[in-house]
Amino acid sequence: MRLMLLATIALLTPAIARFRLFLPGGPLLAIGGTIIFVLVCLAWDRAAHGRVHPAFLWGGLFLIVSLPVRFAIGQTAAWGAVAHWLTR
């Protein structure tokens, strides 16, 4: 269940990025918004169960670390070529 919640939070990143139409921020808003969701889930797990489940801890850390990497890779020409190949 926790990994499913983290997967759903990971899917929210593009939706949060679209808030740039209403608020300034762009990628920083998307990364920050996703990190806030992860941190809220970690805090809730700690408050509700007295500890953070390892799936939340490691999955949340992986998601937090992977966000800037995904944004950086998404701007490269190599990823553009891969995306073009996948969508043709």
Instruction: Please provide the DSSP assignment of 34-67 as one string.
Output: HHHHHHHHHHHHHHHHSS--HHHHHHHHHHHHHH
Mean pLDDT for 10-30 is 80
**Average pLDDT, stretch 72-86?**
93
Q: What is the residue whose two structure tokens read 């996703």?
A: 34
Q: Give me the number of domains the chain comprises.
A: 1
Residue 16 binned pLDDT confidence (cut-offs 50, 70, 90): confident
pTM: 0.80
**Structural domain boundaries, residue 68:** 2-87
Tens digit of each residue's pLDDT (9 = 90 or more) over 22-74: 767 677 888 888 999 999 999 999 999 999 999 999 999 999 999 989 888 98
How is residue 74 annotated by DSSP? T
CA of residue 64 relative to chain centroid, distance: 6
The pLDDT, as a whole number, for residue 29 is: 84
